[in-house]
Every structure is written in C-alpha cells, then in structure tokens.
C-alpha cells in the first residue's frame, strides 16, 4: 500500500513537472532534469530486494541529515534561512 502511494505521488509530481514545461517552455532543461531525478527516486520502490531497499533508504536519510547539518553549520542554508528572528 505504501509503495503504491509513493509511486502514485512520483507519477503525479512528474506530470506536474511536464505541465510546467508545457506552460513555460524556457524551463525544459530544468524540467527534464527534475523529471529524471523523480523517476529515478520513484523507481527505487519497484525494487524487490527488501534489504537493498532498506539500505538505500537509510543511506539517503543520513546523507540528507548531514547535508542539512553541514549547511546549517557553514551558514550556507539550512532550516534557519526561512525563519526571521
């Protein structure tokens, strides 16, 4: 059930990106890159090997955590850019 929902969400986002490309043809390259990245990320959930899928999910989770931690510490972004104190 969860896999189907994630696949459906990926397809919806790809269709939204295609609609944006059709609306603004100037962004076709960016839209193509985003669509390919979404398709690649969504295709991970078609994997049948549960251990490999779990390993790739954990790696992606920790990679994103360290990315946010690094950008927050270096002052180049992170969560605090959207909060005005």
Inter-CA distances, 35 with 7, 17, 44, Å = 13, 7, 15
28 lies in a domain?
yes
| Residue 84 in domain | no
Residue 83 maps to a domain: no
Choose among 9, 67, 62, 63: nearest CA to 39: 9
Q: Answer whether residue 59 is part of any domain.
A: yes
Confidence of residue 81 (pLDDT cuts 50, 70, 90): low
Where is pLDDT greater, at 33 or 60? 33
Q: Could you tell me the pTM of the whole model?
A: 0.54
Residue 82 lies in a domain: no
**Averaged pLDDT of the chain:** 80
Distance, in Å, from the CA atom of 30 to the CA atom of 67, rounded to the nearest integer, reads: 22
**Report for 1-5, 30-34, 41-45: range of highest mean pLDDT:** 30-34
Contacts of 17 (CB under 8 A, 6+ apart): 31, 34, 35, 38
* Selected residue with higher pLDDT from 84 and 53: 53
pLDDT at 51 over 80: yes
Has residue 78 got a pLDDT over 70? no
Residues 31 and 48: their CA atoms lie apart, in Å, by: 29
Domain enclosing residue 61, as ranges: 2-76
Helix, strand, coil share (%) of the chain residues, nearest 5: 85, 0, 15
Mean pLDDT computed over 17-45: 86
Domain count, the chain: 1
């Amino acid at each position: 059930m969860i896999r189907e929902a994630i696949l459906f969400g990926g397809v919806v986002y790809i269709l939204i990106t295609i609609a944006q490309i059709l609306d603004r043809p100037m962004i076709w390259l960016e839209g193509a890159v985003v669509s390919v990245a979404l398709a690649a990320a969504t295709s991970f959930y078609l994997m049948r090997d549960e251990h490999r899928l779990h390993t790739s999910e954990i790696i992606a989770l920790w990679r994103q955590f360290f990315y946010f931690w690094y950008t927050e510490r270096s002052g180049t972004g992170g969560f605090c850019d959207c909060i005005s104190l």
